[in-house]
């Protein structure tokens, strides 16, 4: 009798050298380097190259990669026209998935048959570089404004903010965004990475594979959860309302957004870093946060009291939405696409790793339908 494990929980589906998690200790590492060290010492560009190549780049390699990203920021004119043709109320993730999938028509030779060819490698870099441009373009097009052309001299994080708002941002804000991109760049075989790998295992082109990842990340149980955290905090209203709200949710067996993670038995290390980053920036800058942040701290405190014995603690989504809204001034409908922008580095790395030692995914099932039977002759 085959055992059915819902959601494939704990079932190894592949071997990977890209990232690792110690859920008991709350450790996440990319290629062996802890996210704490990467946030402190690295940049998103260096982290992306680390994920793709397996080792930290030399100074020359990193400079060349940054230059290549900058030269590849521009989006094809017809894709820009495609975005203008879409309904302005369309969700940013639906738009991003459409745009990424359409890029395959411009790079028909990029594929799994030659994953190390210069052409395919160029396409993988194009995905990462264009992700930021596409997300920034939609933040403006959806509001009726023309996109701002990308800079050829700014860093990935700096250029993204410039394309969104049309002005240079505070260097401290740029550093915060760069750290967020690093924290969201990779997270082992999560749902969106797995769907990217499943698509890649059919030897589909990288654009189709990454588009599959974008579609999966859009779900409320995955990347879209940070939007729901903000809605939850606004519904609670203030710290004094938190206990009653949480107790009612638990009583009715409803989700408390941003709480719990299948991989961690302690607080998500990314949530710990984001919380500290927010506090450090506020203390240093004197920036006044809305009541959301105090409400979030109270929610975490009450959940720690009521749920920690079950191993339920804040995950990365719990604080990322607050950071995006309060400090970066993004509206919630763009949160998940920024997540996708960062995760593109991990998806690209997994696409390449999958097709380099490929076997198509073909799990089995436990059939629960009718026994074989004769068709009734009337």
In the set 184, 261, 334, 350, the catalytic residue is 261
Q: Helices 225-236 & 316-326, crossing angle to 10 degrees?
A: 70
Q: Coil, strand or helix: which one is 28? A: strand
Helix intervals (H) in the chain: 35-41, 44-53, 59-71, 77-85, 92-102, 118-141, 156-165, 171-184, 191-201, 206-217, 225-236, 242-251, 269-285, 291-307, 316-326, 335-356
317 is catalytic: yes
**For residue 40, which of 283, 276, 226 has the smallest C-alpha distance?**
276
178 is catalytic: no
CA distance 202 to 180: 32
CA distance 197 to 353: 9
In the set 91, 317, 350, 352, the catalytic residue is 317
Q: Which residues contact 83 (CB under 8 A, 6 or more apart)?
A: 95, 99, 134, 137, 138, 141
**Active-site residue set:** 261, 317
């Amino acid at each position: 009798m085959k055992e059915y494990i819902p959601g494939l929980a704990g079932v190894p589906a592949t071997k990977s050298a890209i990232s690792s998690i110690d859920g008991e200790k709350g450790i996440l590492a990319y290629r062996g380097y802890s996210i704490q060290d990467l946030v402190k010492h690295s940049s998103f560009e260096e982290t992306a190259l680390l994920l793709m190549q397996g080792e930290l780049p030399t100074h020359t390699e990193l400079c060349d990669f940054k230059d290549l990203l900058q030269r590849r920021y521009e989006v094809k004119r017809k894709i820009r026209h495609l975005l203008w043709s879409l309904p302005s109320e369309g969700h940013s993730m639906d738009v991003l998935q459409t745009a990424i999938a359409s890029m395959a028509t411009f790079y028909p030779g990029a594929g799994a048959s030659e994953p190390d060819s210069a052409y395919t490698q160029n396409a993988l870099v194009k995905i990462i570089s264009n992700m930021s441009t596409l997300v920034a373009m939609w933040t403006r097009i959806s509001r009726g404004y023309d996109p701002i052309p990308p800079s050829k001299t700014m860093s990935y994080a700096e250029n993204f903010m410039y394309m969104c708002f049309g002005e240079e941002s505070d260097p401290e804000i740029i550093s915060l965004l760069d750290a967020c991109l690093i924290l969201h760049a990779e997270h082992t075989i999560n749902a969106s990475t797995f769907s990217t790998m499943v698509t890649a295992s059919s030897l589909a082109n990288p654009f189709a594979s990454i588009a599959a990842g974008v579609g999966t990340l859009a779900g409320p149980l995955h990347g879209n959860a940070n939007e729901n955290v903000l809605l939850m905090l606004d519904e609670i209203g203030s710290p004094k309302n938190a206990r009653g709200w949480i107790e009612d949710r638990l009583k009715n067996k409803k989700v408390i957004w941003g709480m719990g993670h299948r991989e961690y038995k302690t607080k998500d290390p990314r949530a710990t870093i984001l919380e500290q980053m927010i506090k450090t920036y506020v203390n240093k800058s004197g920036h006044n946060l809305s009541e959301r942040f105090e409400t979030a701290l109270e929610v975490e405190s009450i959940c720690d009291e009521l749920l920690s014995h079950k191993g339920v603690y804040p995950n990365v989504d719990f604080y990322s939405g607050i950071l995006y809204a309060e400090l970066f001034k993004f509206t919630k409908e763009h949160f998940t696409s920024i997540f996708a922008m960062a995760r593109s580095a991990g998806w690209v790395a997994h696409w390449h790793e999958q097709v380099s030692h490929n076997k198509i995914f073909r799990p089995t099932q436990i059939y629960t339908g009718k026994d074989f039977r004769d068709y009734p002759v009337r």
